[in-house]
Amino acid sequence: MLKVRSIFLSDIHLGTRACQADRLLAFLRAYESEHLFLLGDIVDFWSMSRSIQWSQSQNTIIQKLLRRARHGERIVFIPGNHDEVLRDYIGTAFGDIALQREHVHTMVDGKRFLLVHGDEFDQVTRYHRSVAVLGDMAYTMLVRINIFLSWFRRVFHISGYWSLAGYAKRRMKTALQFVFDFEGAVIHAARERNLDGVICGHIHWAAIREVDGLTYVNCGDWVDSCTAIVEHFDGRLELIEWGKAVQASDSSAIIKEEVCVS
């Protein structure tokens, strides 16, 4: 078990077929922390209003998180747009997990980061809800096609990691400047509050990068890329690409998952 100071996770989308619960469980078994931040879209109530896909592994994730909180790991849950119904419970606790609208986290080196989900900075989600829901359904479809393609690539021994949803997002980003410059908007919010950076989720695109002198960090997601951010005890932030790390070793994982969630 690797001990880190903090773990940042977002966009797990429990309750959907695409949620990579087994991989997340493996990650949670590998990393232990003092602080664990859940930065939104942890439970996907949007998708569950269409159909619920809740597997045993997804239960185990909830149980593990509650147990970790009970045993002294500090867990803060900031709801996102897919779990916005939980925003009504801001200020209360779920087990030992504190629900907050946002949070300022002080790193070991004294730098202060704004923690948010990020949908409030995405003009489409904020002002064009029907477009956002449609986009969400298209994305779900893309992830499903990708599961099939991964299977196809494995069966025909095509090696290497490749993600259709990731590819589509990269193409969209260049074409549309990804919905009115999401990064710029969150960085602007952090700067206005005199903070050193921001850690968010929402766009399913993990990153650690400097933007205009501040640090932009995105946790990515657990439906496609399987990424997390950790803060080490020396203050170093690391992007863990669990999807790539286990791609070679768990060749049957996706198929197993298909069986267990359906």
Question: What residues make contact with Mn ion under the rule CB under 5 A?
Answer: 41, 80-81, 119, 202
> Which is nearer to Mn ion, 80 or 166 (by Cβ)?
80
- Angle between the N-to-C axes of helices 129-155 and 164-192, in degrees from 0 to 180, rounded to the nearest 10: 140
> Which is nearer to Mn ion, 23 or 204 (by Cβ)?
204
Q: Which residues contact 213 (CB under 8 A, 6 or more apart)?
A: none
Two tokens, residue 196: 């050193």
Residue number, nearest CB to Mn ion? 202
> Which is nearer to Mn ion, 12 or 69 (by Cβ)?
12
Task: Read off the amino acid at residue 147.
Answer: I
The CA-atom distances, in angstroms, between 94 and each of 1, 85, 91, 208, 236 are: 26, 14, 10, 30, 30
**What's the closest the beta carbon of residue 40 comes to Mn ion, in angstroms?**
6
> Which is nearer to Mn ion, 76 or 116 (by Cβ)?
116
**What's the closest the beta carbon of residue 78 comes to Mn ion, in angstroms?**
11
**What's the closest the beta carbon of residue 202 comes to Mn ion, in angstroms?**
4
> Which is nearer to Mn ion, 22 or 119 (by Cβ)?
119
Q: Cβ distance 230 to 240 under 8 Å?
A: yes
**What's the closest the beta carbon of residue 41 comes to Mn ion, in angstroms?**
4
Beta-sheet strand order (sheet of 207-211)? 103-106, 112-115, 197-200, 214-218, 207-211
Q: Cβ distance 19 to 147 under 8 Å?
A: no
Which residues in 97-106 are b (16+ Cβ under 10 Å) and which e?
bbbbeebebe
**What's the closest the beta carbon of residue 47 comes to Mn ion, in angstroms?**
12
Maximum separation of any 2 CA atoms in the chain, in Å: 52
**What's the closest the beta carbon of residue 55 comes to Mn ion, in angstroms?**
21
> Which is nearer to Mn ion, 224 or 254 (by Cβ)?
224
Tracing tokens 């009970």 back to the chain, one arrives at 70
